[in-house]
Amino acid sequence: MQEVYGLITGGAGYIGSHVVKLLGESGYKTVTYDNLSTGNKDSVLYGEFVEGDLADLETLDGVFKKYKIGYVIHFAASIIVPESVEDPMKYYQNNTQNSANLINMCIKHNVNNFIFSSTAATYGLGDGNPDGVDEKCLPLPINPYGRSKLMTEWMLEDVANITPDFNYIALRYFNVSGADLDGKIGQMSEKSTLLINVALQTALGNREQLEIFGTDYDTPDGTCIRDYIHVVDLAQAHLDALKYLEKNPQSHILNCGYGRGASVKEVVKAVKELLKIDFKAVESPRRAGDPPVLISKAEKIGEVIGWKPKHDNLTKIIESAYNWQKAKN
Ligand SMILES: NC(=O)c1ccc[n+]([C@@H]2O[C@H](COP(=O)([O-])OP(=O)(O)OC[C@H]3O[C@@H](n4cnc5c(N)ncnc54)[C@H](O)[C@@H]3O)[C@@H](O)[C@H]2O)c1
């Protein structure tokens, strides 16, 4: 019998590479499909690798023909919110149109299990509930990045509605941070905009200063509050989602966060305290497209797919990212 593979788009990127590692360690066969625009081939520690772009239908079709694809996990995307405000069509092309290409391929090749990297950015400003935003909140994204991802959720929902065997889980990640606990992979990009990485790179002298974008938000210390989730816990959520889909023909949208937040200033302080290094953090104007507070309501994912996070601790998250940055330096 032909072996079944998971197609992992964007598997050479930050989050995808952690999921590929976990799937590999758990005995799953994978094919990573990545154009290496921001990813790195060395981060793909398991399975097959095909360098290709989701806009290249011939190469993509070739992968579906060569391997018996049993499920897709779709990470590949452009992910920088301010860039999406400056260049919206890049985001509708890479995130929405290319997702349509991939979903069409799934329909053509009868691949019925689909896990999608969605985002808290679909909520926009959320519903103002200080306990966090839950999945019932009407999504109203406030930037092209969030809209481009929400459109993909809608495509998946519409396809699932008319295709009895097609099921998807859209995981709405909050702020993903940290690195592999074995220190083998982590966020590679020197241009990373993720706060914890920027803080660590500044502490290690790779950047001159850290900018705090906006100190006049309606939050206790005036800076934005986010729900930081360890990438290792997030990887586990994908494995749990996959196991769920293998047994249950049902689609869901699930938040991935811990249900508590930290402000930019709190993160900067935590990095300084852990590393015992003082670095330059300057106050800058607000960035376009940043909501003041985004915290997840985190119950549903546990109830539906049984996800139980193990690394819900900001210091541990920073420590794992630090170990990775240090090893890379
Ligand atoms: N990092 C976060 O905090 C966060 C939060 C919410 C959602 N997400 C979502 O998670 C997913 C992964 O994010 P990440 O942080 O790992 O980003 P990343 O940039 O590290 O990974 C994206 C990967 O996709 C590849 N890629 C991009 N466009 C492609 C294309 N057209 N064809 C083939 N490959 C392509 C890149 O080379 C890269 O390897 C994205 O879909 C993003 O929207 C991330």
Residue 38 lies in a domain: yes
- Per-residue pLDDT tens for 35-69? 999 999 999 999 999 999 999 999 999 999 999 99
Same domain, 233 and 272: no
Higher pLDDT, 287 or 109: 109
Q: What is the rounded CA–CA span in Å between residue 222 and residue 213? A: 10
Residue 14 lies in a domain: yes
Q: What is the mean pLDDT of the chain?
A: 95
Respond yes or no: is residue 92 known to be catalytic. Answer: no
Which of 17, 19, 22, 37 is the best mutation target for the ligand 1 pocket, counting ligand atoms within 8 Å of the beta carbon and taking the most? 37
Same domain, 166 and 210: no
Same domain, 87 and 9: yes
Nearest to 294 by CA among 215, 165, 176, 181: 176
Residue 42 lies in a domain: yes
Same domain, 214 and 91: no
Residue 118 lies in a domain: yes
Q: What is the rounded CA–CA span in Å between residue 255 and residue 252? A: 10
CATH of the domain at 164: 3.40.50.720
The Å distance, Cα 51 to ligand 1 centre, comes to 15
Same domain, 153 and 203: no
Full residue range of the structural domain in which residue 271 is found: 195-226+259-328
Q: Is the CB of 173 under 6 A from ligand 1?
A: yes
Residue 295 lies in a domain: yes
DSSP H helical ranges for 109-143: none
The Å distance, Cα 28 to ligand 1 centre, comes to 21
The Å distance, Cα 218 to ligand 1 centre, comes to 30
Same domain, 87 and 219: no
CATH of the domain at 271: 3.90.25.10
Ligand 1 atom closest to Cα of 94?
A: 31
- Dihedral of CA atoms 75, 81, 83, 85 in degrees, nearest 10, equals 120
The Å distance, Cα 13 to ligand 1 centre, comes to 6
Ligand 1 atom closest to Cα of 37?
A: 37
Tell me the β-bridge partners of 4.
68
Structural domain count, the chain = 2
Residue 188 lies in a domain: no
Contact criterion met (CB below 8 Å) for 196 and 190: no
Same domain, 33 and 87: yes
Same domain, 215 and 232: no
Measured in degrees and rounded to the nearest 5, phi and psi for residue 30 equal: -135, 155
The Å distance, Cα 54 to ligand 1 centre, comes to 12
Residue 183 lies in a domain: no
Q: What is the rounded CA–CA span in Å between residue 309 and residue 255? A: 13
Residue 37 lies in a domain: yes
Q: Is the CB of 77 under 6 A from ligand 1?
A: yes
Q: What is the rounded CA–CA span in Å between residue 161 and residue 26? A: 31
Same domain, 222 and 232: no
- Per-residue pLDDT tens for 187-219? 877 777 889 999 999 998 989 999 999 999 999
Q: Calculate the alpha carbon distances from 93 to 55, 134, 145, 227 in Å.
A: 9, 28, 11, 28
Ligand 1 atom closest to Cα of 34?
A: 34
Ligand 1 atom closest to Cα of 54?
A: 32
Q: What is the rounded CA–CA span in Å between residue 209 and residue 153? A: 37
Q: What is the CA radius of gyration of the chain?
A: 19
Average pLDDT over residues 127-144: 90
Same domain, 296 and 235: no
Same domain, 65 and 153: yes
Measured in degrees and rounded to the nearest 5, phi and psi for residue 223 equal: -105, 160
Q: Is the CB of 15 under 6 A from ligand 1?
A: yes
Same domain, 12 and 77: yes
Q: Is the CB of 160 under 6 A from ligand 1?
A: no
Which of 17, 18, 21, 38 is the best mutation target for the ligand 1 pocket, counting ligand atoms within 8 Å of the beta carbon and taking the most? 38
Judge whether residue 1 has pLDDT over 70.
no
% of the chain surpassing 90 pLDDT: 88
